[in-house]
Amino acid sequence: MALRLVVAEDSYLIREGLRLLLERSGDLELADAVATLPELLEAVERHEPDVVITDIRMPPTGTDEGIVAAELFAEQRPELGIVVLSQYVEPNYALRLFDGGARGRAYLLKERVGDLRQLQHAVGEVARGGSVLDPAAVDALVVARHTQRTSPLARLTARELEVLGLVAAGRSNTAIADELTLSDRAVEKHIGAILTKLDLPADDAAVHRRVRAVLLYLAGHRD
């Protein structure tokens, strides 16, 4: 069964490009394409889509409407998948998007949407409750200066920071164990302690807690 989508993008060219791209997909159905936040809210209410693809900036203010929409949907429609598109990497917005939980959230640069396979992957992941973070956003978060003395990262031991850094680099538990000469069980204990110290909700799925831990690390850690 095809996934129903609503697209919100104020650029007519990008909006129509997305429409044409989605029409080529057999497993994605475009229910509506709109240009403003009020229109997006109305379209979601009317069509009850599985996934929303939204730009960050659109009328009425042209600032953070896409993130505002994601925050509203997190409260009102937690089952709704959200793919947020951005012209440039904006770390603060990426952090806001995932702040309420990584489940069903994706942050992509607009340059990715021309690749139907990447778009299908992101839509499919958020529809299943997964999460997708653009690699370029990861790079930007690495260099973003958000370190504060009150950062929850200060609660971690040196070893826990080392383990979290390897998680952020995409290492599996087994690979971390091999690199640090630890047992798999020891790595699991370190990761459990990290997630607890960072006050990540225990009722969130383990993979989503790891994503949020990585976001905190990338936003707040300096090499």
Residues 36, 84: one domain?
yes
Residues 117, 172: one domain?
no
DSSP state of 26: S
15 DSSP β-pair partners = none
Report yes or no: 22 and 30 within 8 Å, Cβ to Cβ: yes
Contacts of 35 by beta carbon, 8 Å cutoff, 6+ apart? 8, 9, 10, 12, 15, 58, 59
Contacts of 56 by beta carbon, 8 Å cutoff, 6+ apart? 64, 65, 66, 67, 84, 85, 86, 90, 93
Closest CA to 85 of 117, 49, 123: 123
Residues 154, 125: one domain?
no
Residues 138, 174: one domain?
no
Residues 122, 201: one domain?
no
pLDDT string in tens for the chain (223-residue length): 789 999 999 999 889 889 888 888 888 999 999 999 999 999 999 999 999 999 999 999 988 999 999 999 999 999 999 999 998 877 778 888 988 788 999 999 988 878 888 899 999 999 999 999 888 777 766 655 444 445 778 788 888 988 998 888 888 999 999 989 999 999 999 999 998 888 876 666 667 778 888 887 776 654 4
Residues 46, 123: one domain?
yes
Residues 66, 133: one domain?
yes
Residues 34, 123: one domain?
yes
Boundaries of domain holding 184: 146-220
Residues 183, 206: one domain?
yes
Rounded to a whole number of angstroms, the distance between the first and last alpha carbons of the chain is 47
pTM over 0.75: no
Task: Give the domain-ending residue among 118, 142, 166.
Answer: 142
Residues 73, 165: one domain?
no
- Count of structural domains, the chain: 2
Residues 193, 84: one domain?
no
Residues 204, 123: one domain?
no
In this structure, what token pair is assigned to residue 53?
């693809």
Q: What CATH code is carried by the domain that includes residue 75?
A: 3.40.50.2300
